[in-house]
Structure 1
Amino acid sequence: MSFPVSFSAAQRQALSVGWLRPHSARHYAIVPSLLLVAPLLAILAIGFLYPLTKLITLSFSGGPSATYGRFFTDPLYASVLGDTVGIAVAVTLSCVVAAYPVALVMARLKGRLALVIAACVFIPLWTSVLIRSYGWIVLLQRRGIVNSLLMSMNLTEEPLKLLYTQGAVVLAMTHVLLPFAILPIFSTLRLLPDDYVRAARNLGAGPIRAFLYVTLPLSLPGVFAGATMCFVLALGFYITPALVGGPGSMLMANLIGQQTTVLLDWPFAAALSTVLLVMTIVFIVVFRKTLSRSKGFSGVY
């Protein structure tokens, strides 16, 4: 291979070994590839890896017995962790159950009606979580719209306690996280060819059987993606449980906020954050490994 006379010996050697010259037209050379990836790696290191390392280091600053030992010996913190996981699971299930019919209708409709439904899904994403949480307070308080409607219909004689309950937290969080479940399921259903369902119908399957044996299994990757996103977001929710759940609904995010802003116990707050992070990773890995055995999940990631 011949090189221009102006090239130095080091440049010729680098080109000959392929550091600067790609092996084919479809692949970048090593040095240009590293230069292209370097800004992304720098942002990842500064914005994620460094704060995460500082967080884990801070959790050990007071000694493992003073932070992690306190968490594992006091049953209060285990109870808060259990409540957090339970609410996250309930919110995830309710989001998936409510999102699938909406995503199915969005995937099958066309024209203006499909745009109207899509707008109803996207508009809540443009609204602040704080505003939506206050909206549920207006609806569920003792003299709110729901209680006033129930009493006006003579269904109840006195206002029901709807606000500051676990059910109110699950309902409000489901409303906030519902678009994050609808969109992945919709994107999966939109890509499914109609020929599969049509072939099942031609072979004698009814609409319900065709849905259960064709549409549902093929849409499981979107269901899994939406469920994972909702579960991870629900584990770290702070504003909605604090407003709708009140002091009686203490989740891990609220506990961490209390340790940092009220008690100023930063090492213990870092330990709580690390435990929540590790538990989230473990749940995602176990959830994915368990459900990936199903044929419908083979295409996830």
Structure 2
Amino acid sequence: MSDFNTTDLTNPSTFILLGIPGLEAAHGWISIPFCIMYFIDILGNFAILFIVKREPSLHEPMYYFLCMLSTSDLILSTSTMPKTLSIFWFNIGEINFNACLTQMFFIHCFLAMGSGIFVAMALDRYVAICDPLRHSMVLTNPVVAKIGLAVALRSSILALPTPFLARWWPYCRANIISHTHCEHMAVVKLACADTRISSYYGLSAAFLVTGLDVIFIALSYSQILRAVFSLPTKDSQIKTFGTCGSHLCSILAFYIPALFSFITHRFGHNVPLLFHVLLANTYLLVPPMLNPIIYGVRTRQIRHRLLHLFAPKET
């Protein structure tokens, strides 16, 4: 393997994922919380999809967007976790070059898709609170479908250049990636060329997606807060704004790890590599796990349906 790792390569047939550098001896123990979180992610998001499908009262724009988010979360976590667990359990770090680039695309695409869905959910909350009488006329099923399609197209188009640029570079260094998955810059750093285009594009795409989405969400909530504070009583203000609670919690769970990941990658040059890897895995695994929990606990219709499923009333 050492000869292969230092051979001149144009496109390596495989990369070797090391897992979490410096903690290889603890991979077995680390896999336990990873596996538990992934199991909760799978179970929770499938439960959301099942409940919304089976419950006619939940056939509304907010829950359609929630189903889109659950589907996106399932694909995002499943694109990385099976391979990560195979590294932890069986020390199988080999990944085909094309599979590595495909994984890279899925990560970037569905992260961007999750961000776009949060914008769509913010739009739903804006219309529901600021113009409730027209909510059903504005956000019809065809409009919701078009919004979902637009989010998917935007995410795919912005994510597609990332693996294509990575494939373009010649690779003549070691094919070992000190990571649990094919993280964009961890792969590109192995190239023996000036890869600033990849770096600049990744940074620009992140700003274009996350930056614009956060601005749109902030604008929506500024109008929502104006509408809430114009209500006559404190109880009505709390009750109305309470309908945004689940959405706000999910936004924080999604964007805060993203912010920390961005800061440590760009400015944390003295931060240990294992911290970067753990933070990247947290960003990919924790929000998909938390979203169904947040909506299950805070959304009355989903909570009651869950209780009905797992603790049916005796007749």
TM-score by length of structure 2 reads 0.27
TM-score by length of structure 1 reads 0.28
Q: Which has the larger radius of gyration?
A: 1
